[in-house]
Structure 1
Amino acid sequence: MSWQSLAGGGAWSGLNWIGRAANSTRADPYLAWADTTAFAHLGGEPTWVRVILELEAHWPAAAATPLTAQTFAESLENANAAWKKWIQVSTVYRFPPHDLEASRFLTAIVTNQFFTEIDGAMKGVVKRFELGMPIAPGDAMASLAPGSEALVPGTAPVFGPVAPAGAAVTDAPHAVFMGVMDDGLAFAHERFRSAADIPLTRIEYFWNQDDAAAAPLGVHYGRELASGDINGLLKQCVSNGLLDEDAVYRLNGYVGARKRWAHGTEVMDLACGVRHNKIDAAALTLEGERTGTVQPPRILCVQFKTAGRTIRDTSGLWFAVHALDAIRYLLRRADDLADGAGYSVVLNLSYGYMAGPHDGSSIIESAMDELIGLHRDLSIVVPAGNSNTLRCHADLPIAKGTSSPITWRVLPDCATPGFLEIWLPEDVDASNLTVQITPPGGDGSPAFPVEHLYTWQPGRNVLCTAVYLDRVATGHCKMILIALAPTTMNQLQRDPAPAGNWTVTLANGSRDDLEIHAWVQRNETAYGYPLRGRQSRFEDLAYKRFVFGAHVRDFDEDKASTWIKRGGTLSSIATGEHTVVVGAYRRTDGRAATYSSTGPSLLAAKRSGPDAAAVSEDSVACAGVLAASTRSGCVVALSGTSAAAPQVARLLARQKIIEYANGLQPNTFTPQPSARVWVETEADSLDPEPATLAPHLLGPCFGTLNPPPVPLGQHAYVPRLLEIRAGSGRLPSPRWKKRGIKL
């Protein structure tokens, strides 16, 4: 058996993947891949799986009745109680804040019967769904080290009805909440608590999604700690005025902070850490924050659920489900704590993936835009991404009647699946396109129409799956997904996919020229876990990696001869309409970080590039910016746009605190969704003009000893940035003046 066209229902889901009706629910091609491989790379066929859903606007049987996440969750307790055998929804969606009652995005856990019922009993209810991670048996493993004894306060968060909308507290101060969603949040760190003999935490709620000790596998998962729970742990671990932070995490069974360094701790410090010393971990810090005259925001945080303790997903299948759960949890808790008073919420989400529609239509981007539009005052800050020079974006013109090949370099010793997404124009007639896939060493597929599901099984297992769905759930355009098995296996009964150059040839049989975009999905192992994934990429001999062989070329040529593009590399969650997207630059000379991802989005009307840029590197010699390690008194360096985003989140929260503390209704800073506009305006007003720069910064490039080889603004080694790299707007650090720049 080699290349085979599959028809009929999926082995597990039962969905008919070929020729779905025009009015059917938009399905996720990753589920088709999971079907063909029997969930082999996701822990085996599950009983329950997590999904994220977008609902239709109205109930199918009552066109005048709005269909929302709340009414759908209520229906599962009443008229549609029988559905709970195969779909269950968290109470965070059943009892939302009043601002979010009209939201139509939610998550759920479902059995395989759900996928049959979306075209049956639920027809016209679900608009689209996207696959999350299966609920695997490994998720139930204890979070404690063997033989340890831990006090386990808290349970999984379960919600009840909110207070009536009319119960407002008019004289209460305006609250500003900072919400951080990340991995490895050292909640006992001094930056997030007082430095008194009996310390008190500044964190009001902490939801550890990854904790299985206190909750069964189900729709309510993880463990929640309120400030009182955290203070109780801190009090138990104080001796002679010193806090034993390791004992705090040991008592709680929290493994996320046991490493010396954690991404989430640094991000949270940059976003809302209060410093008890003179080390400035964030570039954007007011003197008032050091003296206490500017109060810090109130902290809410979420430890993300990792993709199973025995299976580490590096493709991002887990992300949308747990990110939406985290956002909705933070907004509900902020509403509870405000208790009827006015409040603002700033959320930092320093995560992102490379593949996706890149036009703002992904399900998580649509959900975030909807929440920003509904909420009274919500800002969501995301990083631009770090894939500018990773060779993971292809822009491929295909003239009518011709074909064009894409070379996909898949690396050896990669223990995770690889994914290539090819996005077609929305109005294309896919029946006139064919695709041919040739693995390293031959055995190429036939040139099959894209409107098929093909698999390659040269031996015991499916090694390659090509999926086309005319109505894809992961975006509004049409997409071809090509999924590969890992190139190395630790299971003798499974075959690895061959490493090397895979060739994907697209033929255009239509009457019009086409422009095809493709992205390789991110494949990166989280820090602290055994290395599994290796990032695959595109290959083209015409691609130029360096300028005169001296330094990395971080821009596309005006007349590029290659189809591999640095443009259009924004993160797959950074192309929405209302989120604030932050790029990165170097502190000492103001030059762009070569890795900082570039716009525009495919729907240029939504985004031409990042809204602003913040510091992510201190200097050429000192990579990253300093922020908190997982233990008090230590700092480590964090690079990437993940370090830039929380600094802008801090700036937003600080601005809101100052405006409301002065008793002023913001005039230049209006309620959301204008945070993006405010950040753009602020950055443009602060970024130095070329005339104000020190002369040496406009001189020869130190890498080539020649004048800049491209016009001003197109290169990382000149002071100004293209709009698609962050525009002219950069949020300066206090060290600007030290390099001769006058603001």
Structure 2
Amino acid sequence: MNADSPNHYRFLPHGRGSAESTSMDPRLQRLVAMRRLGRSKPSTASTDENEVAVIAKVASVEAFEALSEVTPGVRLGDVAEDGTTIVTARVPVARIDAVRAQEGVVSLKPAQRLRPALAATTAEIGARPEDLPAGTPRGDGVVVGVIDFGCDFAHENFLRDGGGTRLLRLWDQNGSGNGSPGFAYGDVHATAAIDTALATPNPYVALGYRPGPRSHGTHVMDIAAGNGRGTGAPGVAPQADLVFVEVASSDIPWGGAEAVGASFGDSVQLLEALAFVFESAGSSPCVVNVSLGTNGGPHDGTTLVEQGIDRLLTQAPDRAVCIAASNAFADGIHAAGTVSATAPLELAWVVADQDQTDNELELWAPGASRLSVDLVAPGGQVVGTLGPGESGSVTREGELVLFAANRLDDPNNHDNTIGVFLSPKVPVGRWVLRLTSLSGDDVPFHAWIERDDNGPSTFEEPLDNTHTIGSISCGQKSIVVGSYDAHKPAAPISWFSSAGPTRDGREKPEVSAPGHDVVAASSTTGTGTTRKSGTSMASPAVAGCVAVLLAEAARRQRQLDVDEIRSIVAASCRPDPPVAGAWDDRYGAGRVSLAAMVKALAGP
């Protein structure tokens, strides 16, 4: 519903930072402009999606490479007479402006870069054999479960020395079979079936399962428990057994009125995947990694998936679940404030020009409060007003283009939520939620914009980047993991790594681990690797640590309940960064240390 005709064109001012932006290389300016219009940069052979390789002239290499946004490449020659050095690096498109604006960055242009190795992770967290006491089992007898997308069962890192699979079971929830008892959908492949497929010329065809290239789940599983047969760089728990669930998301509505208030926190299929892994492990110690998430939900641990995780973990000893904190810190997806009893509050929500995706917002307030909301479109038109308990929609030519609900008394936490869904057919620009307190008192609130990787909308600046951990990252018993860069001496927190606390004030994430530029197994290559960044890469490092901890505990004939596991992980963390003795809203208790975790079992 953009009012411009197809033949009408005009320049769009770039707004914030325009003076700095226009001094950059035009190719970088174009990438920045495309991002502000909601467009993504595709990956290349040398970069991930929404990432650009650069060559920089800098006054201080150390200061430049210390930036968490910068992945160093190579230094080209010595320091010149003018005091500058030329280096290559890699920078997220979202941070080009910020990096270019740093004092001492003289020039920034496209470049190539070098790739670090998975060994940087294991070395930094004390997970190499030489870092551990002699005889420490490397995950022997423990099951590592991975719930994700894309399991390359044929990659050498997941095969035993005799050539058979290390996987106990692989459940493809998207398969067309009948599953297994209790999990009656998809295809469940046991060890024997996988081994039979591996003996054929095309194991993916034989098994009827394809992981796809550069799959997320293969990379994650290698960090936690790859054995290095193919790549030469083992993960944290290379002797563990494996269970993988290719999780489906078909029970989560991603568009229309039903999308309002929906997230992975309500996914039956995700909860069943967790139950499947623990059932597959039987009486063996088991840790599950979940590097998935969305932004919506109450962020107080009351989603049904979070409650289900807590119950599974307290059902038996020697169980843990590690969850990625999310990568939304710098995305402008969170807002918080207080609606005064005496005056309305306007919450601005900006949809980028040319955004062709659905957009969704979710606001949470205490159950005793009562808010009304005027939804104001770009240009100032009030689309509608919703009182407590009301909902409304807008249709065009029989198609739902806008839906909003002012819902009271959520059954899991008895709080109230306002949800708004916008289709690509509504105007882009600055939408406003005008909130009015009807309960005679001030009303605190938190709001989140749902995850949308292909066309993200944002709240208006100044941004509040607290409370940005994911939709299933707020449970009572899970271990939530932030990301830092293990390749730099200062171990800076990753620019994307989300922040706590939870909406009810609990300390999440618990811990942090290397998640920046991690090189691990690349699916469909047999022995190859690929590089990825994210809290998705940090969480499996901690899962691998827990697997080794559980194996060592079993060797000592000890059982650990979930609270003991969480306590050991947190108490063994290394501070500085963060500040010693203080919980940090992004590092958590500190940087994980497997060596210290194993030592803790031996006692003082």
Question: If the length of structure 1 is used for normalisation, what is the TM-score?
Answer: 0.57
Whichever residue aligns with residue 498 of structure 2, its letter is: S
- 1:221 is aligned to 185
- 1:636 is aligned to 530
Whichever residue aligns with residue 342 of structure 2, its letter is: G
- 1:582 is aligned to 481
Alpha-carbon distance change, 309 to 250 in structure 1, aligned in 2, over 3 angstroms:
farther
- 2:386 is aligned to 448
The answer as to 2:271 corresponding to 1:324 is yes
Matches within 5 A, 1:17-416: 175-196=141-162, 199-212=163-176, 220-237=184-201, 247-255=202-210, 257-259=211-213, 261-276=214-229, 279-280=232-233, 282=235, 284=236, 296-307=239-250, 316=263, 320-335=267-282, 338=283, 343-416=284-357
Deviation of 1:635 after TM superposition, in Å, equals 0.8
Q: Distance in 1 between matches of 2:494 and 2:582?
A: 10
Deviations 1:521-565, CA, capped at 9 Å, x for gaps: 1113xxxxxxxx41111113xx2xxxxxxxxxxxxxxxxxxxx31
Whichever residue aligns with residue 399 of structure 2, its letter is: N
Deviations 1:344-368, CA, capped at 9 Å, x for gaps: 1111111111111011111111111
Alpha-carbon distance change, 271 to 409 in structure 1, aligned in 2, over 3 angstroms:
same
- 2:567 is aligned to 677
- 1:592 is aligned to 493
- 1:537 is aligned to 458
Alpha-carbon distance change, 362 to 641 in structure 1, aligned in 2, over 3 angstroms:
same
Asked if structure 2 preserves the Cα contact closer than 8 Å seen for 1:178 and 1:347, the reply is: yes
Asked if structure 1 preserves the Cα contact closer than 8 Å seen for 2:263 and 2:297, the reply is: no
Deviation of 1:441 after TM superposition, in Å, equals 3.2
Which one is further off, 395-404 or 382-391?
395-404
Q: Distance in 1 between matches of 2:254 and 2:329?
A: 28
Asked if structure 1 preserves the Cα contact closer than 8 Å seen for 2:252 and 2:263, the reply is: no
Deviation of 1:379 after TM superposition, in Å, equals 0.4
Alpha-carbon distance change, 377 to 594 in structure 1, aligned in 2, over 3 angstroms:
same
Whichever residue aligns with residue 233 of structure 1, its letter is: A
Deviations 1:634-654, CA, capped at 9 Å, x for gaps: 111121000000000000011
Whichever residue aligns with residue 350 of structure 1, its letter is: S
Whichever residue aligns with residue 269 of structure 1, its letter is: D
The answer as to 2:504 corresponding to 1:603 is yes
Asked if structure 1 preserves the Cα contact closer than 8 Å seen for 2:326 and 2:470, the reply is: yes
Asked if structure 1 preserves the Cα contact closer than 8 Å seen for 2:266 and 2:304, the reply is: no
Asked if structure 2 preserves the Cα contact closer than 8 Å seen for 1:421 and 1:520, the reply is: yes
Asked if structure 2 preserves the Cα contact closer than 8 Å seen for 1:174 and 1:660, the reply is: no
Structure having greater relative contact order (Cα 8 Å, sep ≥ 6): 2
Deviation of 1:215 after TM superposition, in Å, equals 7.0
Q: Distance in 1 between matches of 2:588 and 2:272?
A: 33
Deviation of 1:183 after TM superposition, in Å, equals 0.2
Whichever residue aligns with residue 270 of structure 1, its letter is: I
Deviation of 1:309 after TM superposition, in Å, equals 14
Q: Distance in 1 between matches of 2:263 and 2:386?
A: 28
Whichever residue aligns with residue 402 of structure 1, its letter is: A
Deviation of 1:444 after TM superposition, in Å, equals 1.2
Alpha-carbon distance change, 479 to 281 in structure 1, aligned in 2, over 3 angstroms:
farther
Q: Distance in 2 between matches of 1:512 and 1:608?
A: 28
Of 550, 573, 587 in structure 2, the residue corresponding to residue 726 of structure 1 is: 587
Unpaired stretches in structure 1, ≥5 consecutive residues: 1-172, 238-246, 290-295, 488-495, 525-532, 544-563, 618-623, 691-711, 714-718, 735-743
**1:360 aligned counterpart, secondary structure:** coil
Alpha-carbon distance change, 361 to 413 in structure 1, aligned in 2, over 3 angstroms:
same
Q: Distance in 2 between matches of 1:254 and 1:599?
A: 37
Whichever residue aligns with residue 467 of structure 2, its letter is: G
Q: Distance in 2 between matches of 1:178 and 1:201?
A: 14
Of 520, 528, 544 in structure 2, the residue corresponding to residue 650 of structure 1 is: 544
- 1:703 is aligned to none
Asked if structure 2 preserves the Cα contact closer than 8 Å seen for 1:469 and 1:479, the reply is: yes
Asked if structure 1 preserves the Cα contact closer than 8 Å seen for 2:264 and 2:270, the reply is: no
Q: Distance in 1 between matches of 2:255 and 2:168?
A: 30
Q: Distance in 2 between matches of 1:689 and 1:523?
A: 34
**2:588 aligned counterpart, secondary structure:** coil
Q: Distance in 1 between matches of 2:177 and 2:166?
A: 25
Query: RMSD of aligned C-alpha atoms?
Result: 3.0
Whichever residue aligns with residue 476 of structure 2, its letter is: E
**2:562 aligned counterpart, secondary structure:** coil
Whichever residue aligns with residue 157 of structure 2, its letter is: R
**1:445 aligned counterpart, secondary structure:** strand
Q: Distance in 1 between matches of 2:416 and 2:440?
A: 18
Whichever residue aligns with residue 307 of structure 1, its letter is: S
Q: Distance in 2 between matches of 1:498 and 1:468?
A: 22
**1:674 aligned counterpart, secondary structure:** helix
Asked if structure 1 preserves the Cα contact closer than 8 Å seen for 2:177 and 2:185, the reply is: no
- 2:135 is aligned to none
Alpha-carbon distance change, 583 to 200 in structure 1, aligned in 2, over 3 angstroms:
same
- 2:429 is aligned to 500
Asked if structure 2 preserves the Cα contact closer than 8 Å seen for 1:591 and 1:720, the reply is: no
Q: Distance in 2 between matches of 1:645 and 1:209?
A: 23
Deviation of 1:567 after TM superposition, in Å, equals 0.8
Alpha-carbon distance change, 318 to 614 in structure 1, aligned in 2, over 3 angstroms:
closer
Deviations 1:310-361, CA, capped at 9 Å, x for gaps: 99999746962211111111122222xx4xxxx2111111111111101111
Whichever residue aligns with residue 187 of structure 1, its letter is: F
Alpha-carbon distance change, 458 to 222 in structure 1, aligned in 2, over 3 angstroms:
closer
Deviation of 1:625 after TM superposition, in Å, equals 0.5
- 2:520 is aligned to 627
Q: Distance in 2 between matches of 1:570 and 1:426?
A: 22
Asked if structure 1 preserves the Cα contact closer than 8 Å seen for 2:372 and 2:386, the reply is: yes
Whichever residue aligns with residue 500 of structure 1, its letter is: G
Asked if structure 1 preserves the Cα contact closer than 8 Å seen for 2:231 and 2:521, the reply is: no
Alpha-carbon distance change, 731 to 215 in structure 1, aligned in 2, over 3 angstroms:
closer
Q: Distance in 2 between matches of 1:271 and 1:449?
A: 49
Deviations 1:666-696, CA, capped at 9 Å, x for gaps: 5xxx32233222211121xxx1547xxxxxx
- 2:73 is aligned to none
Q: Distance in 2 between matches of 1:307 and 1:732?
A: 37
Deviation of 1:451 after TM superposition, in Å, equals 2.0
Deviation of 1:507 after TM superposition, in Å, equals 1.0
Asked if structure 1 preserves the Cα contact closer than 8 Å seen for 2:367 and 2:409, the reply is: no
Of 399, 402, 405 in structure 2, the residue corresponding to residue 467 of structure 1 is: 405
Q: Distance in 2 between matches of 1:230 and 1:439?
A: 54
Asked if structure 2 preserves the Cα contact closer than 8 Å seen for 1:592 and 1:721, the reply is: no
Deviation of 1:175 after TM superposition, in Å, equals 3.9
Alpha-carbon distance change, 583 to 437 in structure 1, aligned in 2, over 3 angstroms:
same
Alpha-carbon distance change, 312 to 447 in structure 1, aligned in 2, over 3 angstroms:
closer
- 1:516 is aligned to 445
Alpha-carbon distance change, 190 to 277 in structure 1, aligned in 2, over 3 angstroms:
closer
Asked if structure 2 preserves the Cα contact closer than 8 Å seen for 1:379 and 1:673, the reply is: no
Give the count of matched residue pairs.
449
Unpaired stretches in structure 2, ≥5 consecutive residues: 1-138, 596-604
